[in-house]
Amino acid sequence: MVLDNKIALVTGAGNGIGAASAVAFAEAGATVVCADIDLEAAERSARRASQVGPDAMAVQADCGDVASIEAMLDAAVAAHGRLDIILNNAGVTRHAYIMDITEADWDRMNRVNAKGVFFCLQGAARRMIAQGGGRIINIASVAGRGYVGTSNAAYAATKGAVISMTKTASQQLGQHDINVNAICPGVTLTPLVQKLLEDRAEASGISFEEAKAKAAKPIPIQRANDPEDIAAMAVFLASPAARNITGQAYNVDGGLVPS
């Protein structure tokens, strides 16, 4: 129970990596705050987390809106008195060729994936500075490192931004005993990726299973991630074992993309 007595906030906790991480944090002993724009999904994850660890709570939050981010952080601290860990996981994308990306696509992805991660990071850091430290973990992607199979170029740009802000934030927040790291998932079987694979299958005239096999084929270990693979890395980075690790972006991708 390496996270006993810790308060952990997970954004985008309604499904996929966020839901798996909420459960994994709870299993490690943390009290989890599940945040999602879909309150019912957040409540579902909170119930799952509560079954394996301390009572979890759900909050509704739009991680592309700074006022909503602040309300989310305030709710977590008001309920528990502190915030020890934040996993900035909320994100959006769609499958699109570079010439088909619209201004609305660019704005939507940057609003959540880049702006949202930054202001979640900043807001959490403000509270962590006041209490004497904490852990910030950002979900980036191998897309930010040039993965050829990325959903689109705008998404890749947002994830590159997450990697960059992680490194800079770690340098500036280390003096406050705040560790800042990123996880770069490879192909991970979340509902979002399932939808992308369905779109690719339809566009290519192949079956979903063929699209799934095609996505896994370049992976040296020949296996896509389950969300729990990313959750396990998040628990490690939040744990005492990672106390001297900061400013890093770890690929969890089966060897798909060089770091």
**Calpha distance 48→70 (Å, rounded):** 25
Residue found under tokens 């699209």 = 211
Which two structure tokens, joined as six digits, stand for 70?
């602040």
3 state SS of 100: helix
Residues in the chain: 259
Amino acid (1-letter code) at residue 92: V
Amino acid of residue 69: I
> What's the CA dihedral at 233, 25, 136, 226 to 10 degrees?
40
Give the list of residues 6+ apart from residue 173 with CB closer than 8 angstroms, or none.
Answer: 125, 128, 129, 136, 180
In angstroms, the CA 2 to CA 28 distance is 6
Q: Euclidean distance between the first and final Cα of the chain, in Å?
A: 30
Known catalytic residues? Answer: 155
Tokens 């940057």: give the residue.
Answer: 110
